[in-house]
């Protein structure tokens, strides 16, 4: 496997300035020829989704096919649009978290933290040290649960049934721990402006220790199950290449951007919560194909495990929340706060008019920008590769449609 | 990191984009310009290394729609916000040629706030269907219960 282990520690590479290439996009879907003087091979338009096993939710993609080759691809979104940004304008600041849990329903703690940070920056709230560490801890646990779901379904997409069953075991073990901490498996509403809802319950350290004791060994197993499987490797290597210039031009973030070798991780770029106090590396790929995205996330999983260990060991004493008035009225103004969610930079842009509800809240969803690249990434490849590429992007429709 | 307000002003002025206002507040460096100069302004900022359009969205100010463009330079992590006012149901230039990342958010802003983007290659709705009336993120569109919608 050594020839495919292209992953390495951060080297500080960013694409050279001015190397931007404007893609001819979108090509749009050409319909069948309309006149007899128009000569063309017939292109077939295939609907992939919204009910398709590998569209990860209710994504609908129109694929224009020339035989088995994808000529153009267009996403049709909105099947899960609930108008969260509108609803937020009618909620008080401490009521918004529950809506955001339902935006990115696989990693709710990340969006809750982004919101809390945006509110704190507007209202000038100082968050206690302990709350910052708890936030980092639960976010890293959440990152593993999210990546485990991705790993399992990515295997399923490519015909590997077994890893899914194992990754669900890991995921459930951590969801039980998150339930013990926050009171809920997925709809947490745990991180609040000013801190977190409650202190860590007794016994959490032991529970996480038990999990971590087997985690690295299991990660090796998963790596062997998928990364050591020649069929899997052949299906992802060199497939769905998204290079660094394309990725930056489309605003991609997270593992999809880092797989192309761009060293950008919000945890390093603008450290929040307790990330300035722990040591970790940001794994980078080189080519930006499906294998690199797979390898980057596998490394991130291992680093998340190490981060949990560091955060448990260094957990300070103190309050879990600052005193925050119930009817919080931040002064008029704007703020932006971002976190590194499992999918990339998740940002909350708040506009306050001084009342107890936001005037406008914009959720900068990472998967929304990562998905926009599909025409570029799928075109020219085979239909079967489209499934691999989509799976490697790790999209969550809840946060795309909002 | 925050770039200098003066330096940003200089870049934009050199590109022939006069600023209505430039300030540095809780958000960062915010430059307000005329909407029709958006493409020139963004191209000038792209040329000095702002490779990424982090986000693009509109806000209904009660009198018009305010578009916000959030840019980032990856080298030194400098960030700049450009803001431009567009009257209701009026037009702003599409900036997808400068930043392809604008393709989706422009469609979203167009359908939810009722502005249009001239030159957008695929100006369809993004999140809602054709039957949805009104521009949902405008302040004059009220929240309704399912029962009220059924009436």
Give the model confidence (pLDDT) of B20-44 as tens digits.
Answer: 777 777 787 888 888 888 888 888 8
Mean local confidence (pLDDT), A323-333: 86
**Would A354 be classed as within a structural domain?**
yes
A348-356 CB contacts, 8 Å cutoff, 24+ apart = A348/A111, A348/A114, A348/A115, A348/A117, A348/A118, A349/A118, A349/B55, A349/B57, A349/B68, A349/B70, A350/A115, A350/A118, A350/A119, A350/A122, A351/B59, A352/A122, A354/A329, A354/A330, A355/A329, A356/A92, A356/A93, A356/A327, A356/A328, A356/A329
Which H helix or E strand runs over B23? strand B21-24
Residue A23 falls within a domain, yes or no?
no
- A63 within a domain of the structure (yes/no): no
pLDDT band at A181 (very low <50, low <70, confident <90, very high): very high
**What is the tens place of the pLDDT at every residue in A11-26?**
433 433 333 333 333 3
Share of chain A above pLDDT 70, in %: 89
- Least CA distance to A331: which residue of chain B? B26
For the whole model, what pTM was predicted? 0.85
Contacts of A401 in chain B (CB under 8 A): 127
Q: What DSSP string describes B42-98?
A: HHHHHHTT--EEEEEEEEE-SSSEEEEEEEE-TTT--EEEEEEEE-TT-EEE--TTT
**Considering the domain boundaries, does residue A55 fall inside one?**
no
User: In whole angstroms, what is the distance from residue B11 CA to residue B143 CA?
Assistant: 43
Number of domains in chain A: 1
Torsion of CA A272, A275, A281, A286, to 10 degrees: -10
* CA separation for the pair A29, A35 (Å, rounded): 17
- Decide if A349 and B126 are in contact by the 8 Å CB cutoff: no
Report yes or no on A283 lying in a domain. Answer: yes
Residue ranges of domains in chain B, CATH in brackets: 5-142 (3.30.460.80)
Q: Tell me what ipTM this predicted complex has.
A: 0.85
Token output for A233:
């490797």
Domain membership of residue A93 (yes or no) is yes
CATH number of the structural domain spanning residue A251 = 1.10.645.10
**Residue A142 φ then ψ, to 5°:** -65, -35
Contact between chains at A14 and B75 (C-beta distance less than 8 A): yes
What mean pLDDT is reported for chain A? 84
Q: Nearest residue of A to residue B142 by CA position?
A: A86
Q: Is A356 on the interface with B (CB under 8 A)?
A: no
Nearest by CB to A262, from B54, B60, B74: name it: B74
How many other CB atoms sit within 10 Å of the CB of residue A38? 8
Q: What is the pLDDT of residues A250-288, one digit of tens each?
A: 889 999 999 988 889 999 888 998 899 998 989 988 888
Among left, alpha and beta (phi > 0; psi -120 to 50; other), residue A189 is left
pLDDT at A9 over 50: no
A368 Cβ under 8 Å from any chain B Cβ: yes
Q: For residue A103, what are its two tokens?
A: 């935006």
Interchain contact, B54 vs A28, CB within 8 Å: no
The span from the CA of B123 to the CA of B108, in Å, is: 10
Distances (CA, A) of A271 to A254, A267, A276, A316, A401: 15, 5, 5, 18, 28
Cα B111 to Cα B130: distance, rounded to the nearest angstrom: 10
Tell whether A13 is covered by a domain.
no
């Amino acid at each position: 496997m050594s020839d495919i282990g292209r992953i390495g520690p951060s080297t500080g590479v960013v694409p050279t300035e001015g190397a931007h290439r404007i893609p001819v996009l979108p090509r749009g879907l050409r319909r069948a020829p309309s006149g007899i003087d128009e000569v063309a091979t017939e292109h077939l338009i295939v609907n992939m989704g919204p009910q398709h096993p590998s569209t990860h939710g209710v994504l609908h993609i129109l694929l224009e096919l020339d035989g088995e080759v994808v000529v153009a691809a267009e996403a049709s979104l909105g099947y899960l649009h609930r108008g969260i940004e509108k609803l937020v304008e009618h909620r008080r600041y401490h009521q918004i978290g529950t809506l955001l849990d339902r935006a990115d329903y696989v990693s709710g703690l990340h969006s809750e933290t982004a919101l809390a940070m945006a509110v704190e920056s507007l209202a000038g709230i100082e968050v206690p040290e302990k709350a910052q560490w708890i936030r980092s801890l639960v976010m890293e646990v959440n990152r593993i649960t999210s990546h485990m779901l991705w790993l399992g379904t990515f295997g399923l997409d490519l015909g590997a049934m077994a890893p899914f069953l194992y990754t669900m075991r890991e995921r459930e073990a951590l969801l039980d721990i998150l339930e013990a901490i926050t009171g809920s498996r997925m709809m947490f509403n745990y991180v609040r402006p000013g801190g977190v809802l409650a202190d860590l319950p007794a016994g959490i350290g032991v529970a996480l220790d038990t999990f971590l004791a087997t985690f690295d060994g299991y990660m090796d197993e998963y790596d062997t199950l998928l990364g050591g499987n020649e069929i899997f490797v052949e299906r992802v290597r060199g497939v769905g290449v998204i290079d660094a210039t394309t990725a930056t031009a489309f605003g991609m973030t997270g593992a999809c951007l880092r797989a192309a070798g761009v060293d950008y991780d919000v945890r390093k770029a603008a450290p929040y919560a307790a990330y300035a106090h722990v040591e970790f590396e940001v794994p980078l790929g080189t080519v930006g194909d499906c294998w690199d995205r797979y390898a980057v996330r596998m490394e991130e999983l291992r680093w998340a495990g190490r981060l949990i260990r560091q955060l448990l060991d260094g957990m300070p004493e103190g309050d879990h929340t600052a005193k925050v008035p119930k009817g919080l009225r931040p002064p008029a103004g704007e703020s932006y706060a971002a976190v590194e969610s499992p999918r990339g930079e998740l940002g909350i842009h708040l506009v306050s008019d001084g009342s107890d509800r936001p005037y406008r809240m914009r959720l900068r969803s990472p998967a929304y920008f990562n998905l926009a690249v599909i025409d570029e990434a799928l075109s020219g490849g085979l239909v079967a590769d489209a499934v691999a590429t989509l799976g490697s992007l790790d999209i969550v429709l809840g946060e795309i449609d909002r | 990191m925050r770039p200098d307000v003066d330096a940003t002003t200089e870049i934009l002025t050199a590109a022939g984009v006069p600023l209505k206002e430039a300030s540095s507040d809780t958000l960062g460096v915010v430059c307000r310009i005329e909407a029709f100069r958006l493409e020139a302004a963004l191209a000038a900022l792209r040329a000095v290394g702002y490779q990424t359009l982090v986000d693009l969205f509109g806000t209904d100010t009660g009198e018009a729609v305010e578009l916000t463009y959030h840019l980032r330079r990856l080298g030194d992590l400098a960030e700049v916000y450009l803001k431009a006012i567009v009257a209701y149901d009026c037009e702003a230039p599409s900036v997808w040629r400068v930043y392809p990342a604008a393709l989706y958010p422009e469609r979203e802003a167009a359908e939810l706030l009722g502005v249009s983007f001239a030159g957008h290659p695929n100006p369809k709705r993004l999140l809602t269907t054709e039957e949805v009336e009104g521009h949902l993120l405008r302040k004059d569109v009220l929240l309704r219960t399912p029962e009220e919608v059924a009436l």
